[in-house]
Chains A and B, each alone.
Chain A
Amino acid sequence: MTTQTIEQIEKIDKSRYRLNLWRTIALVLLVGGVLAQGIFPENGFVSYIYGIGAILTCVVNGAFIALMAKIRREPQLNEALNNEMFQLYTLKSALCGYYAMVASGLILGALTWVEIVPIPAKICCLGILFCGAVAQAIALLVYDRSR
């Protein structure tokens, strides 16, 4: 492998991490905004959060898809960047997301069951999905951080 390819791999690895960070921020804004709209439907400010999240999601995910396509196109990049460790981290972060969903489902379900806090079903569902998705995204960032 040439020096240029080695440098390219490291550069793309860092780019992928940065894009995942921005995807996490966009996810929090987007889903958080939707959740906030459900809880505070009269509040106009939450619409801005949702709007910023939506735009950021489109832009960042577009860049991420383009980067992943570039990685998959070149066998050397694909072998190095989608190596066994990254695949393991992807699986472990998905597991984190799953457990977060279960935990948030139990908590929200318990709160609704004993009627401590009246939570609409839509908010419950969005809340569970939000916890799962954000937990997965943050877990991947933690596992894949620069060392």
Chain B
Amino acid sequence: MGQNELTNTLKVQRAIRDITQEELAAAVGVTRKTINTIENGIYTPSTALALKLARFFEVSVEEIFQLAG
């Protein structure tokens, strides 16, 4: 799981649904720090976590995560 391989719209998705990082973290079973590092492109989540996030937001994984460049 490298850095800066993906861009994401996590912050946008959260803003649309008015959800804090803490609430999202609790919903998918991680810490707020993990959500923050994903949003800032520091950490690339596993497939399982990406799918959990997509399921939570009721969108496809590709709508949240895209390959950089």
Do A and B interact with each other, yes or no?
yes
Partner of A85, one of B22, B27, B40, B43: B43
- A13 in contact with B26 (CB, 8 Å): no
Instruction: Tell me which residues across on chain A come within 8 A of B30, comparing CB atoms.
Output: 80, 83-85
Given known A-B contacts A84-B46, A85-B43, A88-B1, A79 and B26 have beta carbons under 8 A apart: no
Interface assignment of B7: CB less than 8 Å from any CB of chain A: no
Number of interface residues of A (CB under 8 A): 18
Taking a contact as CB atoms closer than 8 A, the residue among B1, B26, B45, B49 that contacts A1 in the complex is: B26
B31 at the interface (CB under 8 A from A): yes
Interface size class of B (residues with CB under 8 A): 20 to 34
Say yes or no for B32: interface residue by CB 8 A criterion: yes
Number of A-B contacts (CB under 8 A): 54
Q: Mark B1-40, 1 if CB is under 8 A from A, else 0.
A: 1000000000000000000001101110111111011001
Q: Which of A38-84 contact B (CB under 8 A)?
A: 76, 79-81, 83-84
In whole Å, how far is A61's beta carbon from the nearest beta carbon of chain B? 23
B42 CB to closest chain A CB, in angstroms?
Answer: 7
Q: How far is the CA of A10 from the CA of B27 in the complex (A)?
A: 14
Kindly list the 6 A-B residue pairs having the minimum CB-CB distance in the complex, ordered from nearest: A1-B26, A83-B30, A79-B29, A85-B34, A6-B26, A147-B36
25 residue pairs of the A-B complex, CB under 8 angstroms, read: A9-B26, A9-B31, A9-B32, A10-B22, A10-B31, A10-B32, A13-B31, A13-B33, A76-B29, A80-B29, A83-B29, A84-B30, A84-B34, A84-B45, A84-B48, A85-B34, A85-B43, A86-B31, A88-B1, A88-B43, A144-B33, A146-B33, A147-B37, A147-B40, A147-B42
- Beyond A10-B22, A80-B26, A83-B30, 17 extra complex contacts between A and B, CB < 8 Å: A5-B26, A6-B22, A6-B26, A9-B31, A10-B31, A13-B32, A80-B25, A80-B29, A83-B34, A84-B45, A84-B48, A85-B30, A85-B33, A86-B34, A144-B33, A147-B33, A147-B40
Spell out B's residues near A (CB within 8 Å).
1, 22-23, 25-27, 29-34, 36-37, 40, 42-43, 45-46, 48-49
